[in-house]
Amino acid sequence: MLTLLVIHLVWALAAVPVVTRRQRLPSSAAAWLGLILLLPVAGTLLYILAGCRRGSCPDYVVPAEGDPVEQIVTRGCGTLTAARNRLQLLHNGNNAFTALIAALQRATRSIHMEYYIIRDDRIGRTIAEILIRKAHAGLEVRVIYDAVGSWRLSRSMLRRMHAAGVETAAYEPIRFPWFTGRVTHRNHRKIVVTDGRIAFLGGINIAKYYLDGDYMGKWRDEHLRLEGDAVADLQRLFIADWAHVRGEYLDPRRYIAPHAVRQRLPIQLAWSGEGSSRLTIAEAFATAIVRARERVRISSPYFLPPAMILDALRLAARGGVRVEVMIPTCSDSPFTDLISDSYVEDLLDAGVELYRYENGFLHAKVLLIDGELASVGTANMDYRSLTDNLEVTAFIRSRRVVGELWAAFDDDLSASSRVTRASWRPPAWRRVLGDALRIVSPLM
């Protein structure tokens, strides 16, 4: 017995330098070490499969300029604020798919798509047929899909696309029994670029429930259609991701097209991935929140914020900034909802206004600051999005666009109920279990 105890302690102590060297967030390191201490063999195996990150070369960094948020993004991703753009807000699946299908049908040279979820359903088959027709017509069509998120994408659909000349690539497929060491680190991006001129990004995947709803009701989301300078950055991001999944290096000069947009609408693209960009979105969000002067508004389908985000919200609210956080009444992950409930008292104690959206499932990922800055993209306010997944978001500096998003937020508030001390009375078992499971939230 004593021998087993000594082996147990030696095993756990040996994990300390390995985990703390690779997990730079204290909360994540503590969670992994606690799991390994509690379950040495199973915890170590899980860390190898899900927590161990591969080393990577640092991203190319250009000289930073602008305000602190701009500088963080520039240093992490190498992107500057693109000045001249045209932007269309797509507030739901019907608008997003109508605009996307029109752009795909008008493409004449290339189509590049990258999605977390592509379903073999009505909308998925509609888009696949367009891609097949375009490939037959001689266009270069490439599609990246996440192997886990798109597990329902059928082999028959893929075979038909391949036969037509559509090139596809799965991000980090899971092959039993040889697990990848990145099994839980997923490509959560949603990107489309056609002819190097028109781009889309946001929270909407390729699935019919964005049109029809599901057991949670209608899905409420935000998506963007872009033209102008910012499209080039999204095109470069897709090219980098294609090189990662296929080992094929495309020449950006072939796919970045000139444009005639003269409208001034500053947009800076930010993403998270390997290397120096891993925490860029999280750091940019936290910086934007603590620099707010009057108001912060957030909508997110999942709320398990890393410490830097939670601390930023507390500092802003206690410093006199009005902070409003909107989350769904329930999400498609009951386990996540349980942990998310454990953050309610933290927010209320800090003076944050918390609202629960009741008109379906709120899936929009939006951050609004002082009517001057907005972020719309794929990143949720949770550990997985902000510390592990591949994500992308657009920081928009336009009072007009922020005003439109502000009005949409107000509309969503009218369909929400505010959570107060008096109304927040979860069952004791749910409170205790949520608090206990919160310990493992950095691993989710």
SS (H, E, C) the chain: CHHHHHHHHHHHHHHHHHHHHHCCCHHHHHHHHHHHHHCHHHHHHHHHHHHCCCCCCCCCCCCCCCCHHHHHHHHHHCCCCEEEEEEEEECCHHHHHHHHHHHHHHCCCEEEEEECCECCCHHHHHHHHHHHHHHHCCCEEEEEEECCCCCCCCHHHHHHHHHHCCEEEEECCCECCECCCCCCCCECCCEEEECCCEEEEECCCECCHHHHCECCECEECCEEEEEECHHHHHHHHHHHHHHHHHCCCCCHHHCCCCCCCCCEEEEEEEEECCHHHCCHHHHHHHHHHHCCCCEEEEECCCEECCHHHHHHHHHHHHCCCEEEEEEECCCCCHHHHHHHHCCHHHHHHHCCEEEEECCCEECCCEEEECCCEEEEECCCEEHHHHHHCEEEEEEECCHHHHHHHHHHHHHHHCCEEEECCCCCCCCHHHHHHHHHHHHHHHHC
Write down the pLDDT at residue 273: 85
**Active site members:** 188, 190, 195, 363, 365, 370
Residue 254: per-residue pLDDT: 95
| pLDDT of amino acid 276 | 81
Q: Tell me which fold the domain 275-443 belongs to.
A: Endonuclease; Chain A (3.30.870)
Give the pLDDT confidence score for residue 174 in this predicted structure. 77
Convert the pLDDT of each residue in 8-44 to its tens digit: 455 455 555 644 545 545 555 555 555 555 556 555 5
pLDDT of residue 433: 82
Tell me: the pLDDT tens digits for 364-391?
999 999 999 999 999 999 998 998 899 9
Q: How would you write the pLDDT of the chain (444 residues) with one tens digit per residue?
A: 656 554 545 545 555 564 454 554 555 555 555 555 555 655 554 444 444 544 333 344 456 678 999 999 999 999 999 999 999 999 999 999 999 999 999 999 999 999 999 999 999 999 999 999 999 999 999 999 999 999 999 999 999 999 999 999 999 887 655 455 556 689 999 999 999 999 999 999 999 999 999 999 999 999 999 999 999 999 999 999 999 999 999 999 999 999 999 999 999 999 998 778 889 999 999 999 999 999 999 999 999 999 999 999 999 999 999 999 999 998 888 888 888 888 999 999 999 999 999 999 999 999 999 999 999 999 999 998 998 899 999 999 999 999 999 999 999 999 999 999 998 988 888 887 877 777 766 665
Task: Note the pTM of the prediction, 2 decimals.
Answer: 0.87
Can you give the pLDDT at residue 41?
Answer: 53
pLDDT of 37: 56
Return the pLDDT at 279.
93
Fold of 87-263: Endonuclease; Chain A (3.30.870)
| Model pLDDT, residue 54 | 44
